[in-house]
Each structure stands twice: as structure tokens, then as C-alpha cells.
Amino acid sequence: MSYIMVDIESDGPIPGDFSMICFGAVLVDENLDKTFYGKLKPISENFNPDALAISGFSREETEDFDDPKEVMLKFDDWIKTNSKGRAIFISDNNGFDWMFICWYFHHFIKRNPFGYSSRRLSDLYCGLEKDTFAQWKHLRKTEHTHHPVDDAKGNAEVLLYLKNELGLKISLK
């Protein structure tokens, strides 16, 4: 199994009615040097200016981004190339990130290479600490910039910390 840390930025709260603007992924291994970055053209006329502002892009800029189907096909190829065995989706907020990635995969290429489930980094940390209020974001080494590759890498660093320093039993192939 290979864990792939994912982070997305969007212009609203749900896929379909709103758009995923960009996303980043990193294969979780000791090097964290296998990354993917996609910028996607909006699929809807709807957008929330405050949500879009988090990405750092203007609406006009996003309209020149890549075709979402092409980006999802490239991401699918990247996953196949870089993962060994089943690819496991993990993020710091999988309720949000998974929702967009899963919807986009099924909508544009009719399948999701991650299957039907995902993992949440926060829950793993809270479980190891036996504290549902445990805070983990200070464990990131890479600054949280809202560039999804930076954010995915920082979260992957935390997963490696859980494995190497807190003894999380996880296979990272």
C-alpha cells in the first residue's frame, strides 16, 4: 500500500455546484519528492469570493486553468506510476478534500483509483495521543501556505513523525 497525502483548494463548499481550483499530492515516503500539482478550470458559474481568495487566484486566472478531465487523468496516471499496491488517500481534512477528489474522479473519468474510503491525519494523531482534542499542526516542517503541494508535504511530514517518533504501525511502500 502507498499513502498519498492530498490537499485541495476550492471556490466553494461542495463539488458540482462549485469548483476545485487546484490540488496537490505527495507520495508519503522518507523522501517526499514525488509530488503532483493540478490547476483546474472552473466547472460552474458559482463561486464564493472568500473561498477563492484562499487559493490566491482570481476568477479570471482560474478560467485559464486546465481541463478538469485532463488533470484527473494525469493524476490517475501519476498515482499508478508512483504507488505500489493499493493507493490510500489521506489528508488533514478528508471530509472536504476527499469529497472533491472523489467527485471529480467519478464525474470525469468514471472511477476513483483510491476506491471508496480515505484516512484523516488528525484522527490518527488524536488516537495515538488518546486525546480527541490533541493539536498536531505544530509538527509540520513545511510552512502551511495554502499552496496545496506545500500543505500536502507538511501533512506528510506529520505522518512520518507519527510513524518514526510515535510508533504508528504503517506500511509506506
Residue among 106, 107, 144, 146 flagged as catalytic: 146
Give the pLDDT mean for 22-26. Answer: 98
Domains of the chain: 2-164 (3.30.420.10)
Q: What is the mean pLDDT of residues 145-159?
A: 98
**Is it the case that residue 140 has pLDDT exceeding 80?**
yes
Query: Active-site residue 146, yes or no?
Result: yes
Mean pLDDT along residues 147-164: 98
Q: How confident is the model at residue 128 (pLDDT cuts 50, 70, 90)?
A: very high
Is-contact 35 149, C-beta < 8 A? yes
Model pLDDT, residue 97: 98
Mean of pLDDT values over 37-54: 97
Helix (H, G, I), strand (E, B) or coil at 41: coil
Residue 172 pLDDT class (50, 70, 90 cuts): confident
- For residue range 55-70, what is the model confidence (pLDDT) as tens digits? 999 999 999 999 999 9
Judged against a pLDDT cut of 80, whether residue 173 lies above it is answered with: no
pLDDT of the residue at 71: 98
Q: Could you please report the per-residue DSSP string of 95-141? A: HHHHHHHHHHHHHHHS--TTTT-EEEHHHHHHHHHT-TT---GGG-S
Q: Which residues contact 36 (CB under 8 A, 6 or more apart)?
A: 24, 25, 26, 74, 75, 78, 149
Q: Is 15 a residue whose pLDDT tops 80?
A: yes
Q: Is 158 helix (H, G, I), strand (E, B) or coil?
A: helix
Instruction: Classify the C-alpha dihedral 103-137-2-34 as positive or negative.
Output: positive
* Mean per-residue pLDDT of the chain: 97
Average pLDDT score over residue span 158-167:
96
Cα atoms found within 13 Å of the Cα of residue 39, Cβ hemisphere only: 13
